[in-house]
Amino acid sequence: MLNLIKYEFLGKYKAFGIVVIASLVLNIGLLFTVGSWNDIGILMLSICIGVGAGIANLIFSIGIFSEDIYEDKGYLTFTLPQNGYFILISKLIIAIIFYILTTIIESVFLVHFIYNISQVREGLDTIGVKINVTSLGIENVISGAIGFCLLLCMIYFAISITKLAVTKKRGGKFLAFIVFLIIGGLYIAGNWCLEKVLPQTFYINVFQSVSGTISNNASLGNLVKGLPVNIAGMVYELVVLIVLFIATANIIEKKLDL
């Protein structure tokens, strides 16, 4: 399996590396604009860089799998002495590694801008909020990585299941997109229903201290408690992720005809 991960890494490290380096360089460039550009504008640009890096990572992560399904690369990948589970997990590992790298880079710069841009810092001081950077960062990386894995498994499953029905590349991609939308819609509907039936929630403390204006505002009570996480929704997310992973791995191992 390590050789398979190495094989996937060598095939895509340049594309992913460009995203990581671009995110790093652009954010460093923003550091030199502090004091001369609008403070809020700098913060928003940093967020846009993170969003752009996330979209680029998603596109490349889809390409890791779709190239094996629609291109000649698949004849090599699926003839390797590896089962479908190892093939799929190797692709997810590479995607998650670069997702975490770009997320960490963006988070570090975002925290720096929040605490060093005067307008943002003064705004937080005014309402009496101090962010728990460690807690928020860990939650962001872990929950983001799980969500990213789930999104990829939805897409990979849609690509795999439609390949069984449609052999043409163009028609297959369009049908895969429709299937993905259906799966995503069903997932969102299921999650919404579960949260209504089982509303039990715990909170992740994202503030080191809360005082002043915000602590006395009843309408912001949930914000004071922290970041809400629905227990049923969390379990549901993990179950759907596992089911889609197993289903996709079985399809590419036993039923996929390139």
Q: Which residue has the tokens 């590992």?
A: 93
Task: Report CA-CA distances (Å) from 91 to 78, 117, 170, 191, 242.
Answer: 13, 39, 23, 26, 15
pLDDT at 11: 66
pLDDT at 60: 86
Separation between Cα atoms, residue 148 and residue 32, nearest integer Å? 32
**Ranges of the chain whose pLDDT falls below 70:** 1-5, 7-8, 10-11, 72-82, 117-133, 135-136, 166-171, 206-226, 255-258
- Phi, psi of 72, deg, nearest 5: -70, -20
Model confidence, pTM: 0.83
Nearest C-alpha neighbor of 232 from the set 196, 204, 194, 190: 194
For residue range 171-182, list pLDDT tens digits in order. 678 888 899 999
Separation between Cα atoms, residue 9 and residue 6, nearest integer Å? 5
Q: Which amino acid is at 73?
A: K
